[in-house]
A and B are shown apart, each in its own frame.
Chain A
Amino acid sequence: MSKKLIELNNISKSYGSHIVLDEFDLYIKENEFVTLLGPSGCGKTTTLRIIGGFETPDTGNVLFDGTDITNMPPNKRQLNTVFQKYALFTHMNIEDNIAFGLKIKGKSDKYIRDKIEYALRLVNLEGFGKRMPDSLSGGQQQRVAIARAIVNEPKVLLLDEPLGALDLKLRQDMQYELIRLKEELGITFVYVTHDQEEALTMSDTIVVMNQGYIQQIGTPEDIYNEPENAFVADFIGDSNIIDGIMLQDELVMFLGAKFACVDTGFGTNKPVDVVIRPEDVILTPPERGVINGVVTHLIFKGVHYEMEVKAGGYEWLVHSTTMFPVGAEVGIQVDPFNIQIMNKPASEDEEAVPLEE
């Protein structure tokens, strides 16, 4: 187990009457790729800005390598940030942008020259040193912003939705670039995004946030396969979230039918949320289904077909490589280990909110 590098203890932050973070605790381990994931307004960017020193929390403290840095100004902190929309210095060429931090620290010309060359090579921008930021594409500017941050050899790199302004193909390329950089540099990345695919692709650990609270912390696999509540299930990928009753261990009833599952310890006759991923719904001929329904929508998505099936009074979302035409009678089956049982949310805050994407 590597040691804790950053600790956030009991952080609260509000703007006026709007509470952004409420008694927030989080630690980030050395050499970890941590992603703060959540819808806009969930407090993820505020958390990053508190770590970077651009916001001061109302209560609580921030520890960096065991030292309290809560009130330390950003220019004294041993971490660097890659900002949303890059925030390059438009009056300087690429070299001067990259050299900015090193010149402030009074490094020698030779050291700075070597570092610029190294950084440009690292982000595949050799030969761009004399260009001005305005003459570069979005993806190139993004890589300059990363180069400008990493030449300072920070212990932690903070990234605030760095790929948000790029188109899909470029974003995917940059995701691989970032993973490669992380491997090469061996530093801790704290990454903020609202894009769940991005989070699943790159992270060692994902922190799912909503309305200033942490909903779940875990590996991408944990978060995807074992969401702890309906919000996480809904936010991470598509899900069928159905009201159900846990009749006894390993048996759940929903939509009027009994399904075998693998969850235990919920008690008997307990109301629960049942989460089933669309790719885990198995469509069968009607006579073999646990419940039966009718296909109402069909879209070809390339890798799979996306279908909506009306069954038991619920619109099931189904991803399948087998196509059933609209109007077809189908049966639905789910393997027991693909049924995820969750307690109903205890408080309003954890209630799954519809997302506008």
Chain B
Amino acid sequence: MKNRNNLKFMAGPYMVWAIGFILIPLFIMFYFGLTDKNGMTSLANVLSIATPEHSKALSLSISLAVAATVICLLLGYPLAAILAHMKNSSGVIIFVFILPMWMNFLLRTLAWQTLLEKTGVINTALSALHLPTINIINTSHAIVLGMVYNFLPFMVLPLYNSLTKIDENVINAAADLGANAFQTFFKIILPLTVPGIMSGITMVFVPSLTTFVISKLLGGSKILLIGNVIEEQFTQAANWHLGSGLSIILMVFIVINMLITAIFDRDREGSLL
């Protein structure tokens, strides 16, 4: 079709964008990651993940990301279910929950730092009430808290979408056929929301796994996640080769996660990506 060919140039800017800011950087990353300082092909950067320091950072990143994802799922599912059940006021309520998403991510995390500090807002209030103070700043707990706070909306939205998509009569049909509320949830509602669950997991797990800002602001300098290690290689050690090599490792984990998601979400109905 001639017309269609004529319109193809409309995609031009996006092609330029994709090549300039996605494909070329990806290529550069692979180039640096798979070469050494002399430009020789080398797997040393990638394999350095096996060193105790790096593997510890990676395993800590994975466990914190898993913890944040599980907490988001446990908090987000009931919340999404409540939101999905509200018919009229849901617009306002969803707005309230989504509102923090519009504020800058750095600001929100910095606010938590102020709240959690040893002499921060929460502890000042607690000691004024003669209650024991909490000292979780610069611990893994604070990092997970930051992850949950920042990424919870990304869990709630796909769950909300997949819950509202369930026809009310499908749930009525389950009751009609004798299922109690418990059976209806596990046999009908939960399986039908698997796409939303998988999408939510990806949306929380991937940014949690790769974050370095949350760990830097709420974890102090003591706790190094893989994101922090990579960041250091670029900003302080100026070792782009090692930083790129570790990034490749991180990418492998993300790709695995997305493949698993794709298997569960064949129709891409829960997808927000």
Chain A residues within CB distance 8 Å of chain B: 52-54, 73-75, 80-81, 83-85, 87-91, 100-101, 104-105, 148-149, 152
* Cβ–Cβ contact B178 & A105, under 8 A: yes
Inter-chain CA distance A73–B182, complex, in Å, is 14
B265 to A: closest C-beta gap in Å: 12
Contacting residue for A74 out of B176, B188, B192, CB 8 A: B176
- Range for the number of chain B residues in contact with chain A: 10 to 19
Known: A89-B188, A90-B192. A152 touches B178 (CB 8 A): yes
Q: Are B172 and A87 in contact (CB under 8 A)?
A: yes
Total A-B contacts with CB atoms under 8 angstroms apart: 60
- Distance in angstroms between the alpha carbons of A80 and B183 in the assembled complex: 17
In the complex, the answer to whether A75 meets B169 with C-beta atoms within 8 Å is no
Contact residues in B for A88 (Cβ distance below 8 Å) = 170, 173
Contact of A85 among B169, B174, B187 (CB under 8 A): B169
Closest A residue by C-beta to B179: A104
Q: How far is the CB of B112 from chain A (nearest CB, A)?
A: 39
Q: Which residues of A contact B178 (CB under 8 A)?
A: 75, 101, 104-105, 152
Most buried by A among B170, B188, B191: B170
Please measure, in the bound complex, the distance between the C-alpha atom of A111 and the C-alpha atom of B271, giving whole angstroms: 40
Determine whether the beta carbon of B172 is less than 8 Å from that of A74: yes
Cβ A81 vs Cβ B170 within 8 A: no
Complex interface: chain A residues within 8 A of B89 (CB)? none
Q: Which residues of B, 184-225, contact A by the 8 Å Cβ criterion?
A: 187-188, 191-192, 194
Q: Are A75 and B192 in contact (CB under 8 A)?
A: no
Q: Are B177 and A83 in contact (CB under 8 A)?
A: no
Of the candidates A81, A84, A90, which one forms a contact with B176 in the assembled complex, judged by CB atoms under 8 Å apart?
A81
Contacts of B191 in A (CB 8 A): 91
- Of B167, B176, B192, which is within 8 A of A91 by CB? B192
Is the CB–CB distance between A89 and B180 below 8 Å? Answer: no
In residues 37-61 of chain B, which contact A (Cβ within 8 Å)?
none
A sample of 12 more A-B contacts (CB under 8 A), given A75-B177, A83-B169, is: A53-B176, A73-B175, A74-B172, A80-B177, A83-B172, A83-B173, A87-B170, A87-B173, A89-B188, A89-B192, A91-B192, A148-B173
Q: How far is the CA of A44 from the CA of B66 in the complex (A)?
A: 51
User: Roughly how many angstroms separate A75 CA and B187 CA in the complex, as a whole number?
Assistant: 15
Q: How far is the CA of A148 from the CA of B173 in the complex (A)?
A: 10
User: Nearest chain B CB to A155's CB is how many angstroms away?
Assistant: 14
Closest 6 pairs (CB-CB, A-B) = A101-B177, A87-B169, A74-B175, A83-B169, A87-B173, A104-B178
Q: How far is the CB of B48 from chain A (nearest CB, A)?
A: 44
A87 CB to nearest chain B CB (Å): 4
Cβ distance B87 to chain A, nearest Cβ, rounded Å: 12
**With the chains together, A104 CA to B187 CA distance in Å?**
10
The answer to whether B174 and A100 have CB atoms under 8 Å apart is yes
- 1/0 per position for B131-167, CB-CB distance to A under 8 A? 0000000000000000000000000000000000001
B170, B172, B177, B183 interface centre (most CB from chain A within 10 Å): B177
